[in-house]
Amino acid sequence: MRIARNVTYKLEEIRSTKEGRIAVIHSSYSLADSVPKNWPVPYYGRFRVRGRFGLYRDYKVLNLHGQGEELFNIDKGRIEQYNQSYRMQIAASLPFGLIDATPQINIKQSLTMKLLEN
């Protein structure tokens, strides 16, 4: 599957700390209508999914939404921390049309990064 998401960034505030000025940036995510044509394919070849998901076919993303927060140190020019959380809903089908079913898959993912001290 090649999908893309729209991301909207909003500068919420700038905090003054002893480590420097910190920009607090909020983001929101939604499913993009299309994928840019010049995007590279991240993986080449054929891959087999194992387990329950190996039986499903014809995956289609129905929805993607989420939000995040990034703390950017303006004075040091680096990201100090970020949190992203999103949900994606996917529909699939079963092979050979033996069973008339459309399995729904819900994915909830959270990504967190924090700069460690040197």
Give every residue of the chain whose pLDDT is below 70, as ranges.
Answer: 1, 47-49, 52-53, 97-98, 118
Give the integer Cα–Cα distance in Å for 80 and 21: 11
Contact 92, 56 (CB under 8 A): yes
Give the integer Cα–Cα distance in Å for 94 and 43: 24
Give the integer Cα–Cα distance in Å for 97 and 99: 5
pLDDT of 118: 53
**pTM score, two decimals?**
0.78
pLDDT of 98: 65
What is the per-residue burial (b if ≥16 Cβ within 10 Å, else e) of 71-102?
bbbeeeeeebebebebebebebbeeeeeeeee
pLDDT of 94: 78
For the stretch 5-28, pLDDT in tens is: 999 999 999 999 999 999 999 999
